[in-house]
A and B are shown apart, each in its own frame.
Chain A
């Protein structure tokens, strides 16, 4: 079998094709649509990370580590927020201990994001859809154009692509939604949902 190189070569080629053309799919989190994400969010804002701090907490089943992230609120698109807000995530590092939750959003001071937030029930991740409600703000160093990408840095072309059943075609960041356009889409959708109630 090992010497059957024809099949091996074909499989290797297939793997390359899969890497290039395959769509992410597997388990654990259901990706919400844009409308569902917005409906569920208590607040949506554009924020800059100012501070990231971890600490021990006591829980009913033992000790755990949480990380509190402080944001400067640049624009509020839904809900009511002051000039700063804090969000608490499960996991972090304190001394010699590190607790991690795979997939949970991690923030660094200076990050700029659009965040859909739901803190009801003190969730593991207050970002709606665990990580899906985090959109990164990217800036083209040449043109200064500011565009939006998903949590995984995949450029976002349309809000309809969020939570779509089939993976949308990949686009370059030059064709991604601008931050201004994304904010506008959110504000209009918030108004639409409010009027529908």
Chain B
């Protein structure tokens, strides 16, 4: 009888813990386009606004594509192909069983890999049709309705060649862990894993246009925005007498990433595109280009969207990076409102000092000072 010896396991676990935690299964796809046939059929309108399953699943395809260089998944939406094993096609479908085998009561979805002579030739995803599905973000609703997009994100990670890190004695926050939870997006670990397989999406060096040929809005040096944020902290604490609260994103993080988010928004990116591009940067995946040429008139996004980004940043620092909370007198709303106002003045001809002074007037309730040009 061969029993597993504890000592060797402890050594292996310790070694693994010192390195990255993602788990690469084996052979990956050759460079180029990898088609995925989405054969999920019709659906009622979904919670997140998607019109059908195809939209939800291709949203998951898009997320992975943002982080990969050497290959791109190609979502074949509303495919009418019939799924099957070893047919040379990557199928994504609902089914009562997986090729004649029941899913089992606890399984939401499965991927099957096919290798021939150790070369990956096919990967299929089956969703358990006996479960209730929808498409939504946030806390998962086990026992009720499952979010197809996050499960598709997980299964597509398998299609790309990633395994479950937690099946290999590793503890890490990752979409690729094998048990359902509240994560609804890729984490630093997932992105590091996929970039080891396929490299990062090519990006420019930041601050220049990647997607458009027109003019690009340039932002003030970060040290000045950081200095403004220091002034804001002091004003909230000493002038306004605000007590210190807790934030998971520290001052540096909020200044840098809120400014980056706004840079993308002002250079033709939608809210979601801007959030994803900032996420790539935080994950160390380079600096993706902006989405196009800036509009001739500088138009900042609605504050609720910047605030929404700031809340996501908070969650990212808390969950993905497991950061301890830090004290600050400026709440998340004040953070985004005044950083955005400071930058608005800076981008409309005001100097650093003028911009601080104009924000000060607003905070003191002395109206809304005009821009400098």
Contacts and interface: CB of A to CB of B under 8 A. Distances in A.
A123 B128 CA distance: 12
B113 A64 contact: no
Given A10-B253, A31-B106, A122-B100, A100 B4 contact: no
Contacts of B142: 30
B373 interface: no
Contact of A90 (B101, B153, B154): B101
Contacts, number: 261
A100 B112 CA distance: 6
A82 interface: no
B154 A98 contact: no
Contact of A124 (B5, B104, B114, B323): B104
A71 interface: no
Interface string A1-20: 11010111011001101111
B109 interface: yes
A195 B258 CA distance: 60
B110 A28 contact: yes
Given A24-B179, A62-B85, A121 B102 contact: yes
B274 interface: no
Contacts of B116: 96-98
Contact of B154 (A27, A40, A99): A27
A124 B102 contact: yes
A90 B111 contact: no
A92 to B, nearest CB: 11
15 contacts: A11-B188, A23-B173, A26-B176, A26-B179, A28-B154, A31-B106, A59-B99, A59-B100, A63-B85, A98-B113, A110-B1, A124-B102, A130-B107, A140-B6, A141-B7
Interface of B: 1-7, 9-10, 13, 17, 21, 25, 82-87, 97-118, 142, 150-151, 153-155, 158, 163-183, 188-189, 205-206, 222, 250, 252-253, 256, 260, 281-282, 284, 287, 317, 320-323
Given A11-B282, A154-B169, 17 more contacts: A1-B287, A17-B323, A19-B172, A19-B189, A22-B171, A26-B178, A26-B180, A27-B151, A30-B106, A60-B99, A61-B84, A64-B100, A90-B101, A98-B118, A100-B113, A123-B102, A139-B5
